[in-house]
Amino acid sequence: MTYTPEQTRRDDRAHVFHSWSAQAKIDPLPIVSAEGSHFTDDAGNRYLDFTSQLVNVNIGYQHPKLVAAIQEQAARMCTVSPAFANDARSEAARMIVERAGAPAGKVFFTNGGAEANENAIRMARLYTGRNKVMAAYRSYHGATNGAIMLTGDPRRWASEPGMPGVVRYWGPYPYRSAFHAQTEAEESERALAHLRDLIMVEGPDTIAAIILETVVGTNGILVPPEGYLAGVRQICDEFGIVMIADEVMSGFGRCGEWFAFQHWGVQPDLITFAKGVNSGYVPLGGVVLSEAIAGHFDERVYPGGLTYSGHPLACGSAVASMRIFEEEGILEHARMLGTDVIGPALDKIADKHPSVGEVRGLGVFWAVELVKDKETREPLVPFNAAGDAAAPMGAFTAACKERGLWPFTHFNRTHVVPPCTTTAAELEEGLAILDEALSVADGYCS
């Protein structure tokens, strides 16, 4: 029996409980096919995807080599308990630690990014014997009990109070500096001084970890100014604090490197990953442990585990994905798209549109910050806007979709985050649509 789009809609509305939604106020669009950098809905409308779904389809949709690898693994071994060794998991772990610059480290596999962050925090607390974790306001680390408390954005509010021991700090954001900095150098210096002051008053010996998104994702694609990550590394070394880099969104090609921290030559103690490791073809995430932290559990039991940790289908797809990245030069392609296509085009768009306050990013990870006034930098919509207050962003989003572009929007920003395999020609097409749609946003400028 063929399952029709009408049945899909009906059964979805009757039986699927959707995340982050008031159930009666949504009408999810059925997607019937996807390939490369495009997907098609049930009415035959084809969209160029500037979202990579949830910034995870780094390798594009239906990559034939990755699909074939999943099929081959399924035919050979679909599943096995984490208590056993299997070749897919072993090879995936070896390849990941090598590409993370931690060849003597180990990987604890999870089903996604939130579980990775949960376990990284547990590891840091057990390793240090301390409780507090410092996490940024402008951040998202997942929606499980601990990860949502690490999260700094409003998605945390409804879950409070939650896991204790989280201390908030402001990370660098030169365009809207919390430190009244005038330059990136000042922003880096003052953000580090702020972090050091918080550590002083909280008590260095009480702090297990500092967690940060190497490049902040949904909350603005905030690229750290030069010297900031090195400064965090120095502070962690000085006080015996574990540095956790959340690379769930920024890793595996998104920033033009295997991991974004490699841009700055800094090595974290724990690295969390998911999304791009296999482009979400099969759920997978994990924590890369440094040699020191992994060694801490040589004679101590690690009190954590997951039924599907290192699932063969997921790990087999990760191995294939990393091979494809290397065979097809995807890291190099992502870097080129950022420097030669996206960056120059967005600079021109910023000069043209009064609604564009700033563009920023690297690789295939960019934000366009929309404002009512370039001089005052007043956001196009208020922080965490909803209803009528969010109408300008809604109008901009609709204008993109009407023209065949599916945008990623959050608060007063639109993000340019297509698959890392998107061609230059496709990007130019999408950026031209973005240019047109921004004329709608311009209409709300003061």
**286 pLDDT tier (thresholds 50, 70, 90):** very high
Q: Is the Cβ–Cβ distance between 239 and 204 less than 8 Å?
A: yes
Q: Name the segment(s) of the chain with CATH classification 3.40.640.10.
A: 65-327
- CATH number, domain 65-327: 3.40.640.10
Minimal CA–CA distance to 339: which of 361, 356, 358? 361
Distance (Å, rounded) from C-alpha 135 to C-alpha 261?
17
Q: What pTM was estimated for this model as a whole?
A: 0.97
- Identify the burial level of 44 via C-beta atoms within 10 angstroms of its C-beta, where 0-12 means exposed, 13-18 middle and 19 or more buried: exposed
Q: What is the mean pLDDT of the chain?
A: 97
Per-residue pLDDT at 52 exceeds 70? yes
Tokens of residue 208, six digits: 């297990």
The stretch 277-282 carries a mean pLDDT of: 98
Nearest 5°: CA angle at 275, between 360 and 316?
Answer: 140
Minimal CA–CA distance to 179: which of 228, 106, 123, 110? 228
Nearest 5°: CA angle at 169, between 252 and 177?
Answer: 85
What percent of the chain is predicted at pLDDT more than 90? 98
**Strand, helix or coil at 133?**
strand
User: 232-275: per-residue pLDDT in tens?
Assistant: 999 999 999 999 999 999 999 999 999 999 999 999 999 999 99
User: 24-38: per-residue pLDDT in tens?
Assistant: 999 999 999 999 999
Side-chain half-sphere of 414: how many Cα atoms within 13 Å?
33
User: 113-150: per-residue pLDDT in tens?
Assistant: 999 999 999 999 999 999 999 999 999 999 999 999 99
Distance (Å, rounded) from C-alpha 36 to C-alpha 336?
18
pLDDT given for residue 55 in this prediction: 98
The domain 5-62+329-442 belongs to what CATH superfamily?
A: Aspartate Aminotransferase, domain 1 (3.90.1150.10)
Q: Give whole-number Cα distances, 263 to 8, 94, 140, 353, in Å.
A: 44, 22, 21, 30
User: 376-387: per-residue pLDDT in tens?
Assistant: 999 999 999 999
Length of the chain: 446
pLDDT given for residue 44 in this prediction: 96
pLDDT given for residue 5 in this prediction: 83
CB atoms within 10 A of CB 267: 16
Q: Is the Cβ–Cβ distance between 406 and 47 less than 8 Å?
A: yes
Distance (Å, rounded) from C-alpha 240 to C-alpha 243?
9
> DSSP letter string over 206-224?
GEEEEEEESSB-TTT-BPP
Side-chain half-sphere of 220: how many Cα atoms within 13 Å?
22
Considering Cα of 406, then 364, then 232, then 110, what sign does the dihedral take? positive
pLDDT given for residue 1 in this prediction: 59
Distance (Å, rounded) from C-alpha 124 to C-alpha 44?
49
pLDDT given for residue 247 in this prediction: 98
Q: Is the Cβ–Cβ distance between 70 and 315 less than 8 Å?
A: no
Q: Which of 32-37's residues contact partners 24+ apart within 8 Å by CB, and which partners? A: 32/5, 34/61, 34/62, 35/60, 35/61, 35/62, 36/60, 36/61, 36/62, 36/419, 36/421, 36/422, 37/61, 37/418, 37/419, 37/421, 37/422, 37/423, 37/426
Q: Name the segment(s) of the chain with CATH classification 3.90.1150.10.
A: 5-62+329-442
What is the number of helices (H) and of strands (E) in the chain?
14, 15
Distance (Å, rounded) from C-alpha 397 to C-alpha 152?
25
Per-residue pLDDT at 365 exceeds 80? yes
